């Protein structure tokens, strides 16, 4: 019992006393709000569980149909304390608004007054906050609720000040952005009975002590604005509290502690606003304590939101993901069907705006929908787009012809650009480690017996990410480039081609990593079939490279085979004799012999991986071809040396293409994949790594604390 | 009919070789491709050497070419077997010449050496301005080798007789 505030016990008793579930349809958006009901003695948080609509969905990643939940955030269940229905509250606490909810159960009606605001109430140390959850089943409660004085717009207190969120797909220098990234913790296993433990930090290198005597501290960084905390309680805890201890990492002093009561089970999230000094490095320790009736596992996911000023575009990196192929889907006798793409990796550092939009976008390709229809006229087709299973927008598409042609109505759905919203991204990160991005299109197909949806292009996601783990002012305003501490960082830029998760469909990730002296191009893929595999690749970049490139399969250097070396020497000698005899220099029989020697020499030279670098008009073409005597490697890394005399600030990654085996050998795809992403090149000098240390897992997928571009551990 | 066989063999295999060289372009050759290239080359050389004669055991020559393809394809099964490509190369280059000498196409070793030298000399003028592209190289090399072979077949027996007559008297 030591260390557990009595207030926690009091709150727990209130929770255990029970609540009534009230289903609200077409309610106002409750995102970011704290909702309270009067339980007769005090204001108690009201839980919000969003109710899904299930749609028969074709999941492109596995090429299978499944019933998937979708949320429009206006259908939810409110968990209201039972006592709130019996006793009217005193006046609404200052800073909160009074909302009135009319609850109907059959013929019986009741009215509940709620207090709603952006700033949570506190009691002693404890923050009485509202937990949100994505429910997994339709409402079963008989209580139906309706707000009889629905607010026109959400309450404004403590609203983040800042720019007006305008739709823009390009970050410009001078802009204020709000990057979002995950902090990574390991699960905390608690035994039945009283428990109290710090949640261990999930570090790739085991380093989690920045301040002596304060283990399990996670580096958060500068200019921290607010957090979203997700918890997943596997098992049941009787009651518990999560404390977030915020430290000044520079002085190793405690700034503040945030106490929140834990939900008893399930996955939930809530928003946490703490006032922290923007110009100090922040560290956080998470501790859970309480009482569990049986063994339980508590997962804590913290999503941090920052406020940053873009001083140089070097602070922004672009990452692109493209679907490997355009699906064609058939179904029938359903009211609604959907096609789901993803999940794609939700890399840390998404550059968001104050309004909750972002600079990242999803390009949904144009597609055709074909309905079998027996009516006289073709109906309008309602198409709804969802990102991370949360409704994004709806459009109506007219038929190509007003009357069915041969009992079929055709619809051409134009391509659409969806701006990635911060909310779905944050929820995904708060509920699962690292998070993901999914994109769905849903169609009202009105129980047509035959529906075919054919996509004409490839779905594409382009992320603009903040890659600067330091302070905004870390850019030297004089030279417009980051300080030399960047020299100890490995910067990454990724291009993904993601198809269904099976051996026959292409899934590959190519990455360019830049250290102060090296550039590594990597390719990881799943095409390993001996008859049809990726046997070559070509990267087209603008970063000047020099010297001979070194190919690696995984971390193993590719060596010349002993027999190929021997054969090459013999043929070299034979060619030398021909040259000596002045026969090979012209045509005729000597040239025939020379040609044949070169062909056979080709066999020995192509037995092992070959890498070539050519340059033209400022573009560098780096080409890898697998050796015919080698098994298809799942991971290829080409290590290049950067030109020390030439130090451009950016590298542009223009194109990429891969090759497949033919009867003749490895042939690269004649069509280049357009990448067109920029990446910053680290300065060519190295200084202290004190600033860079331990920050890396905060910004996974973008940076790494290494100067060796070849070796990158698990991220 | 018998006279046509070597020419037919030469032109068919030469056209296939040219097409194959054009198709390969500047790309790399894996063992199967190299095997096909060498096999076609072997048939071209046999057809070239016996262009004005009769090819001995045509079926056997084609079989030898097929064995070359199979041998090179087997490198994929056991890569160190690729070392056998070197003796195979010498076989392709020298065996047609040996057959020509054995069947009286080449009168003696001097005839063979003169063929090598003359084809090289003729080729200098022809190949000098041409771009270094595989199929053009093949075209130039084969055509000059054939021209040199024709010239020597017409002139070398006379030269030899003229050289032998003073010795006889």
The structure tokens listed for A253 are 């002093």
**Residue in chain A lying closest to B37 (CA):** A599
Instruction: Please name the residues in contact with A641: beta carbons below 8 A apart, sequence gap of 6 or more.
Output: A517, A518, A519, A545, A546, A547
On whether both A292 and A351 belong to a single domain, the answer is: no
Residue A714 located in a structural domain: no
* Contact (CB, 8 A) for A90 and A38: yes
Query: Which residue among A582, A603, A605 sits closest to B31, beta carbon to beta carbon?
Result: A603
B77–chain A nearest CA distance, Å = 9
In tens, the pLDDT along A133-152 reads 999 888 888 899 988 876 65
ipTM summary value: 0.86
Q: Which of A338, A286, A372 is nearest to A65 (CA)?
A: A338
Contact B75 A603 (CB under 8 A): yes
Domain range for A354 is 315-463
Q: Give me the mean pLDDT over the A44-59 stretch.
A: 95
Contact B27 A593 (CB under 8 A): no
On whether both A347 and A397 belong to a single domain, the answer is: yes
- To test the contact with chain A by mutation, choose from B89, B106, B138 the residue with the greatest count of A C-beta atoms within 10 A, namely B89
A584–chain B nearest CA distance, Å = 8
Cis omega before residue A343 (within 30°)? yes
In tens, the pLDDT along A110-121 reads 899 999 998 899
Write the DSSP string, B47-115.
Answer: HHHTTTS--TTHHHHHHHHHHHHHHHHGGGTSGGGGGGHHHHHHHHHHHHHHHHHHTTSS-SHHHHHHH
pLDDT higher than threshold 60 for residue A712: no
Q: What is the pLDDT of residue A106?
A: 81
Q: Which of A700, A703, A706 is nearest to A347 (CA)?
A: A700
- To test the contact with chain B by mutation, choose from A589, A605, A612, A659 the residue with the greatest count of B C-beta atoms within 10 A, namely A589
Does A589 lie at the interface with B, CB-CB under 8 angstroms? yes
Query: Which residue among A561, A600, A625 sits closest to B86, beta carbon to beta carbon?
Result: A600
Q: What's A199's domain CATH number?
A: 2.60.120.660
pLDDT higher than threshold 80 for residue B52: yes
The structure tokens listed for A595 are 């040609």
Residue A631 located in a structural domain: yes
Q: What is the pLDDT of residue A159?
A: 37
Instruction: Please name the residues in contact with A145: beta carbons below 8 A apart, sequence gap of 6 or more.
Output: A22, A23, A24, A27, A78, A101, A102, A103, A104
Domain ranges of chain B: 4-168
Residue A564 with chain B: CB contacts under 8 Å: 82
Contact A591 B127 (CB under 8 A): yes
Q: What is the pLDDT of residue A161?
A: 33
Contact B76 A628 (CB under 8 A): yes
B63–chain A nearest CA distance, Å = 20
From CA A350, how far away is CA A619, in angstroms rounded? Answer: 29
Q: What is the pLDDT of residue A381?
A: 96
Instruction: Please name the residues in contact with A361: beta carbons below 8 A apart, sequence gap of 6 or more.
Output: A169, A417, A418, A419, A420, A461, A462
Helix (H) or strand (E) holding A636: strand A635-642
Average pLDDT, rounded, for chain A: 83
On whether both A340 and A448 belong to a single domain, the answer is: yes
**Residue in chain A lying closest to B144 (CA):** A588
- Would you tell me which residues 479-498 of chain A have a C-beta closer than 8 angstroms to some C-beta of chain B? none
Q: What's A512's domain CATH number?
A: 2.60.40
Size of interface A-B (CB pairs under 8 A): 137
A576–chain B nearest CA distance, Å = 15
Does B48 lie at the interface with A, CB-CB under 8 angstroms? no
Q: What is the pLDDT of residue A306?
A: 93
Residue A122 located in a structural domain: yes
Q: What is the number of domains present in chain A?
A: 5
Lowest mean pLDDT of A34-43, A307-316, A659-668, name the range.
A307-316
B76–chain A nearest CA distance, Å = 7
From CA B115, how far away is CA A216, in angstroms rounded? Answer: 84
Give A507's pLDDT tier (boundaries 50, 70, 90): confident
Residue B27 with chain A: CB contacts under 8 Å: 664-665, 667
Q: Give me the mean pLDDT over the A681-685 stretch.
A: 69
Residue scoring higher pLDDT (A554 or B168): A554
- Could you say which of A309, A334, A354 is where a domain stops? A309
Q: Which of B89, B70, B87 is nearest to B31 (CA)?
A: B70
On whether both A297 and A265 belong to a single domain, the answer is: yes
For the beta sheet containing A451-455, the strands, ordered from the edge strand earlier in sequence to the opposite edge, are A328-331, A451-455, A367-372, A408-413
On whether both A359 and A432 belong to a single domain, the answer is: yes
Give A580's pLDDT tier (boundaries 50, 70, 90): low
Does B71 lie at the interface with A, CB-CB under 8 angstroms? no
On whether both A531 and A520 belong to a single domain, the answer is: yes
Q: What is the pLDDT of residue A403?
A: 94
Contact A590 B119 (CB under 8 A): yes
The structure tokens listed for A61 are 């990643």
pLDDT higher than threshold 80 for residue A204: no
Residue B115 with chain A: CB contacts under 8 Å: 589
Does B126 lie at the interface with A, CB-CB under 8 angstroms? yes
Residue scoring higher pLDDT (B62 or A207): B62
Residue A170 located in a structural domain: no
Instruction: Please name the residues in contact with B102: beta carbons below 8 A apart, sequence gap of 6 or more.
Output: none
In tens, the pLDDT along A619-669 reads 999 999 999 899 899 999 999 998 876 666 778 889 999 999 887 678 888
Query: Which residue among B30, B82, B145 sits closest to A592, beta carbon to beta carbon?
Result: B145
Residue A159 located in a structural domain: no
Q: What is the pLDDT of residue B23?
A: 83
On whether both A353 and A264 belong to a single domain, the answer is: no
Burial class of A13 by CB neighbour count within 10 A (0 to 12, 13 to 18, 19+): exposed
pLDDT higher than threshold 50 for residue A165: no
Does A663 lie at the interface with B, CB-CB under 8 angstroms? yes
From CA A479, how far away is CA A484, in angstroms rounded? Answer: 12
Q: Which residues pair with A639 in a beta bridge?
A: A520, A550
A670–chain B nearest CA distance, Å = 13
pLDDT higher than threshold 80 for residue B26: no
Contact B80 A666 (CB under 8 A): no
B126–chain A nearest CA distance, Å = 8
On whether both A328 and A346 belong to a single domain, the answer is: yes
On whether both A490 and A357 belong to a single domain, the answer is: no
Does B33 lie at the interface with A, CB-CB under 8 angstroms? yes
Cβ atoms within 10 Å, residue A120:
23
B167–chain A nearest CA distance, Å = 31
| Whole-Å CA distances, A22 to A47, A135, A147, B88, B150 | 11, 14, 11, 85, 102
**Residue in chain B lying closest to A592 (CA):** B141
* Contact (CB, 8 A) for A221 and A333: no
Q: What's A399's domain CATH number?
A: 2.60.120
Residue A595 located in a structural domain: yes
Contact B79 A629 (CB under 8 A): yes
On whether both A323 and A299 belong to a single domain, the answer is: no
């Amino acid at each position: 019992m030591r260390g557990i505030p009595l207030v926690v016990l009091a709150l727990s008793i209130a929770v255990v006393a029970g609540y009534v579930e009230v289903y609200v349809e077409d309610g106002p958006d409750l995102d970011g709000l704290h909702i309270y009901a009067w339980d007769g003695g005090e204001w108690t948080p009201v839980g919000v569980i969003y109710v899904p609509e299930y749609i028969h969905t074709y999941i492109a990643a596995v090429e299978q149909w499944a019933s998937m939940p979708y949320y429009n955030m206006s259908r939810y269940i409110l968990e209201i304390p039972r006592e709130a229905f019996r006793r009217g509250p005193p006046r609404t606490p200052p800073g909160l608004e009074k909302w009135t909810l009319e609850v109907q159960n059959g013929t019986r009606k009741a009215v509940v007054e709620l207090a709603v605001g952006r700033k949570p109430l506190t009691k002693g140390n404890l923050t009485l906050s509202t937990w949100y959850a994505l429910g997994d089943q339709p409402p079963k409660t008989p209580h139906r609720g309706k707000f009889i004085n629905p607010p026109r717009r959400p309450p404004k207190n403590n609203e983040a000040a800042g720019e007006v969120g305008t739709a823009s797909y390009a970050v410009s220098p001078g802009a204020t952005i709000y990057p979002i990234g995950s902090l990574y913790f390991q699960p905390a296993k608690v035994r039945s009975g009283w428990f109290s433990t710090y949640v261990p930090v999930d570090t790739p290198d085991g380093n989690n002590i920045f301040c002596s005597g304060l283990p399990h501290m996670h580096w958060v960084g500068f200019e921290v604005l607010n957090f979203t905390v997700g918890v997943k309680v596997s098992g049941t805890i009787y009651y518990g509290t999560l404390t977030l201890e915020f430290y000044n990492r520079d002085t190793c002093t405690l700034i503040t502690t945030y106490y929140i009561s834990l939900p008893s089970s399930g996955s939930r999230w809530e928003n946490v606003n703490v006032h922290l000094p923007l110009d100090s490095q922040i560290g956080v320790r998470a501790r859970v304590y309480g009482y569990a009736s049986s063994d339980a596992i508590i997962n804590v996911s913290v999503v941090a939101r920052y406020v940053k000023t873009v001083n140089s575009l070097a602070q922004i990196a672009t990452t692109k993901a493209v679907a490997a192929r355009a699906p064609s889907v058939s179904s029938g006798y359903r009211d609604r069907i959907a096609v789901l793409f993803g999940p794609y990796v939700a890399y840390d550092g998404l550059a968001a705006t104050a309004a909750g939009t972002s600079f990242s976008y999803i390009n949904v390709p144009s597609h055709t929908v074909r309905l079998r229809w027996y009516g006289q006229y073709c109906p309008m087709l309602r198409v709804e787009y969802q990102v991370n299973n949360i409704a994004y927008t709806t459009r109506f598409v007219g038929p190509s012809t007003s009357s069915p042609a041969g009992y079929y109505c055709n619809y051409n759905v134009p391509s659409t650009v969806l701006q990635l919203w911060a909310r779905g991204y944050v929820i995904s990160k708060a509920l699962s480690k690292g998070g993901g991005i999914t994109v769905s299109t849903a169609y009202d197909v009105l129980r047509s017996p035959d529906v075919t949806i054919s996509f004409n292009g490839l779905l594409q996601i382009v992320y603009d990410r903040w890659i600067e783990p330091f302070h905004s002012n870390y850019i030297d305003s004089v030279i417009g480039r980051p300080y030399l501490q960047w020299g100890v960082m490995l910067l990454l830029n990724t291009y993904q081609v993601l198809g269904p998760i099976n051996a026959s469909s292409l899934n590959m990730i190519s990455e360019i990593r830049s250290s102060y002296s090296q550039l590594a191009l990597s390719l990881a893929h799943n095409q390993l079939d001996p008859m049809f595999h990726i046997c070559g690749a070509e990267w087209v970049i603008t970063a000047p490279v020099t010297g001979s490139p070194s190919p690696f399969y995984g971390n193993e250097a590719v060596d010349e085979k002993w027999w190929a070396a021997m054969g090459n020497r013999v043929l070299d000698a034979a060619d030398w004799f021909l040259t000596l005899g002045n026969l090979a220099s012209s045509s005729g029989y000597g040239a025939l012999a020379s040609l044949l020697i070169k062909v056979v020499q080709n066999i020995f030279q192509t037995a092992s991986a070959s890498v070539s670098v050519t340059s033209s008009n400022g573009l560098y073409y780096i080409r890898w071809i697998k050796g015919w005597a080698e098994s298809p490697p799942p991971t290829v890394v080409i290590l290049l040396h950067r030109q020390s005399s030439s130090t451009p600030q950016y590298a542009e990654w223009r194109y990429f293409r891969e090759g497949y085996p033919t009867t003749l050998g490895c042939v690269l795809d004649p069509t280049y994949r357009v990448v067109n992403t920029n990446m910053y090149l680290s300065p060519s000098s190295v200084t202290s790594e004190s600033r860079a240390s331990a920050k890396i897992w905060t910004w996974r997928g973008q940076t790494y604390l290494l100067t060796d571009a070849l070796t990158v551990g698990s991220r | 009919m018998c006279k046509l066989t070597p020419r037919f063999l030469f032109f068919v295999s030469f056209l296939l070789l040219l097409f194959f060289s054009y198709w390969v372009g500047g790309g790399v050759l894996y063992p199967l491709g190299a095997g096909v290239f060498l096999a076609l080359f072997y048939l071209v050389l046999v057809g070239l050497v016996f262009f004005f004669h009769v090819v001995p055991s045509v079926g056997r020559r084609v079989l030898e070419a097929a064995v070359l393809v199979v041998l090179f394809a087997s490198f994929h099964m056991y890569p160190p077997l690729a070392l056998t490509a070197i003796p195979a190369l010498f076989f392709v280059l020298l065996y047609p010449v040996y057959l020509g000498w054995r069947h009286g196409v080449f009168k003696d070793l001097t005839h063979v050496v003169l063929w090598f030298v003359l084809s090289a000399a003729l080729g200098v003028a022809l190949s000098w301005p041409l771009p270094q592209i595989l199929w053009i190289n093949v075209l130039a090399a084969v055509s000059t080798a054939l021209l040199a072979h024709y010239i020597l077949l017409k002139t070398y027996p006379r030269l030899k007789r003229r050289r032998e007559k003073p010795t006889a008297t």
